[in-house]
């Protein structure tokens, strides 16, 4: 797996597909942000931290599947259009912004299944 693809997948999950995370994994996002903030400001060490965190939070298979899906993207990924700078600040900021936004009442919604037949 390519380091930039691992980072792109995580950022996509956080910003567009938060349902990927279990409740426990979501609660562990601040720990991930802290670990990234203390890493070397390079793609590979950050991707390794993300991969390890995903494995610890039962997201390793989903990470591999998602990376395979983008390994041959039809359109450039946002991360390839504008290179991120200061990764150890930018990535944790993105994670925590999404985390804090979702902590607001009603921010994360679940499907209303009350009308479904039983």
Per-residue pLDDT tens for 34-75?
999 999 888 999 999 999 999 999 999 999 999 998 765 555
> Is the residue at 118 inside a domain?
no
**Average pLDDT value for the chain:** 81
23 vs 19, 20, 27, 96, CA distance in Å? 9, 10, 6, 15
> Is the residue at 114 inside a domain?
no
Q: How far apart are CA 98 and CA 94, in angstroms?
A: 6
> Is the residue at 111 inside a domain?
no
> Is the residue at 56 inside a domain?
yes
> Is the residue at 61 inside a domain?
yes
Domain count of the fold of the chain: 1
Predicted confidence band of residue 113 (pLDDT cuts 50, 70, 90): very low
Q: How far apart are CA 23 and CA 74, in angstroms?
A: 32
> Is the residue at 113 inside a domain?
no
Cβ pair 32, 49 in contact under 8 A: yes
In which domain, by residue range, is 26 found? 3-102
Q: How far apart are CA 60 and CA 53, in angstroms?
A: 8
31 pLDDT exceeds 90? yes
């Amino acid at each position: 797996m390519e380091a930039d693809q691992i980072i792109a997948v995580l950022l996509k999950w956080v910003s567009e597909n938060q349902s990927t995370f279990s409740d426990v994994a979501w609660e562990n996002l601040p720990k991930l942000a802290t670990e990234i903030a203390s890493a070397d400001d390079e793609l590979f060490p950050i991707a390794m931290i993300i991969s390890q965190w995903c494995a610890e939070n039962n997201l390793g298979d989903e990470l591999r599947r998602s990376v395979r899906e983008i390994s041959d993207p039809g359109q450039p990924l946002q991360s390839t259009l504008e290179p991120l700078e200061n990764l150890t600040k930018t990535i944790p900021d993105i994670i925590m912004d999404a985390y804090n936004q979702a902590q607001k009442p009603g921010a994360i919604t679940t499907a209303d299944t009350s009308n479904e037949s039983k």
